[in-house]
Structure 1
Amino acid sequence: MPNNSLPTVRLVGIGAALPDPCLHNDDLSHIVETSDEWIWPRTGIRERRILPPQLSVVDLAYQAATAALAQAQVHPQDLDLILLATSTSADRFGSAPQVQAALGATRAVAFDLTAACTGFVFAVATATQFLQTGLYRRALVVAADVLSRTVDWTDRTTCVLFGDGAGAVLLEADPAAAADPLQSGQHGILGIELRSDGTGSELLSLRMETEARSLVGSLQVGQYRCRPITMNGREVYKFAVHAVPEVIEKSLFRAGIPAEAVQGYFVHQANQRILDAIAKRLQVDPARIASVLEHYGNTSGASVPIALADWVEKGRFGPGDLGVMVGFGAGLTWGSIVFRWGK
């Protein structure tokens, strides 16, 4: 159950950013040996967005962040914290400060968080702790990835899956809610459950390969070279359909909420078969599991806020509705957050 002595952390703004260029399944048939007839039934994906070369993760993150701030009617200078969940930043030292500068959020501290497809969920959980301790009042969590720049376009098992995109959510602490035992815990973040298992790290990876180089005499140094995404799709599927429903159930238990009371499940968009299996395991209507896979493919951690933004924009999810955000993927990492949307 929620700890009623802590300030309530509310989710008050959502935004998404998706590039215009669209790569359809039929287009992929000109790149590798595949087809819409093969991709669609196995994944639920028909198209995905590709970020133009002249744009970056920072550009996507900025667009999503601006949309979230506008919806919440919050000025960038009122932000205290910015977390950027990404695995594909061009700057290995981090890109969150660049997002902060682009927004003009001069008061906010900003840093990157890397947890692949679970990155957004881990970042929301991290921001929540800063807000509940009272250190900060407002936090912006952005997930942005350009996976199109990390795939091997000759590997038909992976290049058909991934797309580019960003999503952002604005979190606010409400200390007054903690003082009212009748209201505290009824809104905002209600339950969090996070998991990691490094023994499965080889199942899905985006590695920097070390190449030896002689410097002087017998002294050698290792130099990094980025390798494309590798994935054992069968084993990742088995992991997801077993671990994800379990972590959802545990987060719901912590929140004291039954699965059938949730209006929207915003699960990482990896594969439609995984989404269907989760609905079956939880015994909930599949229509309550958001799916934007058909149009955007797997956008890593950004897929969760992109799905949430889609439902909010369409009026399928609104103030007072109960939701669950779920991430899972490389690491292995997975996690679930139960929340009630809006102020």
Structure 2
Amino acid sequence: MAKVQVKIPTFKLKSGEEIPAVGFGTWLGLDEKLEFKIKDAPKMLEAVMYAIDVGYRHIDTAHLYRVEPEVGYAVRKKIEEGVVKREDLFITTKVWQHNHKPEDVEASVRASLKRMGLQYLDQVLIHWPMAISEEGVDEKIDYLETYRGLEAVLKKGLTRYIGVSNFNLDQMKRLLANCSVKPTSNQIQVNLNLLEDDLVKYCQENDVLVVSYTSFGSMISSRTSPGTPEPRWDSPIMHEMSKKYGKTASQIALRFLYQRGIATIPKSLTPSRIIENASIFDFNIDEADIATLEKFNCGYRTECPVFFQNYTHYPFDKVENININEVPISLRKWKNGANLDIE
């Protein structure tokens, strides 16, 4: 039986770039012991292939995610099968914190290309503005230097576009005042609890696409605790809107971001959810409901990596009066692929 197909529109920037409004995220996450969930890598491989089959064209990954080999295999297989051509796809990866020296940026990008078996990437991002060694030492490398490394990689044709992730407003202003090539996008945590209005406005006024991660915020039941703000997965307001529009709460959250001009990269290993996440382009949330949803904005950060907060260039407000643990080993040293045997 033929798979359901989704048609995902693109955001077009003034500079000519076209980026799919919904991409497929490949972050598997950490468990309660802060160890990477690599056991789900085979499922991720199948999910990426399914996503390409049904119409996804933006695949978002990163060196940190460990799954670049799986992503590359899925992409090459679908090209071999004739499902897509390489130029149909927009593949993003990211440079991790221990590769922030300009010369290390190129080495990181070349390693990502090797792991994926690709000739070029569509976009490479600085994953975080902080530079942290594999031993957890604050290297204090200026992110402007790291970005110059990205500009050099761009000039060599290893990627079509470059950008950043987790950069705050002040960092974006400083970057745009000192770069030779404007970043295509800034990938940040933004959702109903965390609208980031000033940062989003600045990026959009300067032709930088905002790409949302953690787009569902605390609406996922596993992220809900007694102190978690609304909307949670069982929110009465979201339930009523779901009935009104004939859509799930998750679809409403993604559509809300799309109507703000924000791209999203939701992740799922479940075929029905993969279809659901891209089926948001056949309805509009009306102005009154937009205003209701905006009231959920409370500055709550669902994912808050406080173990980074004492490092130079940490982009978020610091959390006071808490014990700061060292950066987990899972975010400092690893190998890639399902068997963790690929450099």
Same fold (TM over 0.5): no
Specify which structure has the higher proportion of strand.
1
Task: Give the TM-score taking structure 2 as reference length.
Answer: 0.32
Higher relative contact order, structure no. (Cα contacts within 8 Å, ≥ 6 residues apart): 1
Task: Give the TM-score taking structure 1 as reference length.
Answer: 0.32
